Amino acid sequence: MALSAFIESHVDLIVAEWTAFARTLQPSAKTMSEMALRDHGRAILLAISQEMEGLQSESERSTRSRGADSCNDEAQTAASTHGELRHVAGFDLVQLVSEFRAMRARVLALWRKAQEAADADDSGPRAIEEIARFNEGIDQALAESVSSYAAGVELSRDMFLAVLGHDLRGPLSVIRMSNALMARPGLSEAARLEAAQRVERATQAMSGLITDLLEFTRTRLGAGIPISLSSCDLKAVCEDAVDAVRASHPAHEFHLQMEGDLKVQGDVPRLQQALSNLLSNAVQHGERSQPIRVRAQALGDEVLLSVGNAGRPISPESLQVIFEPLVQTPDAAIEPHERSKTSIGLGLFIVREIIHGHRGSVAVESSMADGTVFTVRLPCPARPSGPDAVIRG
């Protein structure tokens, strides 16, 4: 059987095995549906098969071998759409390329097995020609996917820089205006104090932005966020973080609930940073008229910490990549002036890195009925059993 005909008749089997491989590309594929993982695999394969069945001149072969027609800007192919969606889903470039390597290897292995079963020769000139045409098709699809993926990365980076410039300009404007106000003669002490408080809040906002940038750079250089573990009480961490965010956002209401023995092995400043980022995110996106809910509870051999807010639920597409940096989603693709002046989109990424550094996990659920809830799970030291060892709730 010709390779192109084999692809068409076995496309569902090939896509199923390709999807199973994509499932192994963690962490991005961990929570993706089968449909999302399958994506445009069928369309990509059928497009390659149809191209293989067409005639090809030596000139066309030479052009394709040089990659001269690899990136057609005028047509949105299945492969280019696949690259865009894999970028949005948080796949890295190596994972994207590995998908096409797996597809190539699996198609050829299945075809060779079918040829052997049919006692057919897969090493003759005709078979070699078909394999060459198939490889050209895979390379073309890969080039289109990589091109659209790179375009998505560039767009996200440009948006990131635009938002960063906007978010730094806001606090700087506050500092400049407050400084001009305090320089006025005859200004009352109350007005001077209020201006000084605005300067302090603006300084804290800028400090948070710079800290997030430094942490992001550190992780991208491979160093990771340093974590120094020691015995600590999550109760004090929660109280301090809530007090700090409440001071910066006095108009918001916070409900703090703590249950059981909350001692963990943790890095107190880092845990406070992670919780502050979750609280700031809840303030930014939550319904102002509803309280932000913070709950910490001991459950067996772990401590659960949740931060919840009411408001518009997060879309499934955004939930998929909410902890990823420099990824634009439909929810995030808004004008810079509509965004918060205290966030460049790295806060949740920093949370994930800190919690992973504590050998814990962080997840999010969002619905209209329950709002948005981030849940952190941290391992805790073994403790004696007893009536107070586990809090049920």
List, for residues 220-252, the tens digit of each pLDDT value: 666 667 888 899 999 999 999 998 888 778 888
Taking 50 as the threshold, does the pLDDT of residue 78 lie above it?
yes
Confidence class of residue 294 from pLDDT cuts 50, 70 and 90?
very high
CB distance 231 to 381 below 8 Å: yes
Task: Give me the mean pLDDT over the 143-163 stretch.
Answer: 82
Percent above pLDDT 90 for the chain: 32
Least confident of 76-85, 87-96, 160-169, 195-204: 160-169
Confidence class of residue 59 from pLDDT cuts 50, 70 and 90?
low
Higher pLDDT, 364 or 162: 364
Beta bridge partners of 303: 298, 378
Taking 60 as the threshold, does the pLDDT of residue 43 lie above it?
yes
Stated pTM of the model: 0.59
Taking 50 as the threshold, does the pLDDT of residue 390 lie above it?
no
Taking 70 as the threshold, does the pLDDT of residue 122 lie above it?
no
Least confident of 118-122, 179-183, 228-232: 118-122
Residue 227 backbone phi and psi in degrees, to 5 = -125, 125
pLDDT, tens only, 200-225: 878 877 887 787 777 777 776 666 67
Task: Give me the mean pLDDT over the 281-288 stretch.
Answer: 89
Least confident of 240-249, 300-309, 315-324: 315-324
- Residue 62 confidence (pLDDT): 57
Taking 80 as the threshold, does the pLDDT of residue 193 lie above it?
yes
- Residue 232 confidence (pLDDT): 92
Confidence class of residue 334 from pLDDT cuts 50, 70 and 90?
very low
Mean per-residue pLDDT over the chain, rounded? 81
DSSP 252-272: S-EEEEEES--EEEE-HHHHH
- CB neighbourhood size of 244 (10 A): 16
Taking 60 as the threshold, does the pLDDT of residue 341 lie above it?
no
Taking 70 as the threshold, does the pLDDT of residue 55 lie above it?
no
Task: Give me the mean pLDDT over the 190-208 stretch.
Answer: 84
CB distance 238 to 296 below 8 Å: yes
Instruction: State the pairing for strand pair 302-309/371-379.
Output: antiparallel
Distances (CA, A) of 74 to 95, 98, 144, 251: 26, 26, 12, 51
Domains of the chain: 3-157 (1.10.490), 160-220 (1.10.287), 230-379 (3.30.565.10)
- Residue 236 confidence (pLDDT): 92
Q: How far apart are CA 41 and CA 44, in angstroms?
A: 5
Beta bridge partners of 363: 375
Taking 70 as the threshold, does the pLDDT of residue 275 lie above it?
yes
CB distance 323 to 362 below 8 Å: yes
Q: How far apart are CA 373 and CA 361, in angstroms?
A: 14
Confidence class of residue 157 from pLDDT cuts 50, 70 and 90?
confident
Q: How far apart are CA 324 and CA 351, in angstroms?
A: 11
Percent above pLDDT 70 for the chain: 83
Higher pLDDT, 209 or 150: 150
Could you tell me which residues come within 8 angstroms of residue 129 by beta carbon, excluding any fewer than 6 positions away?
Answer: none
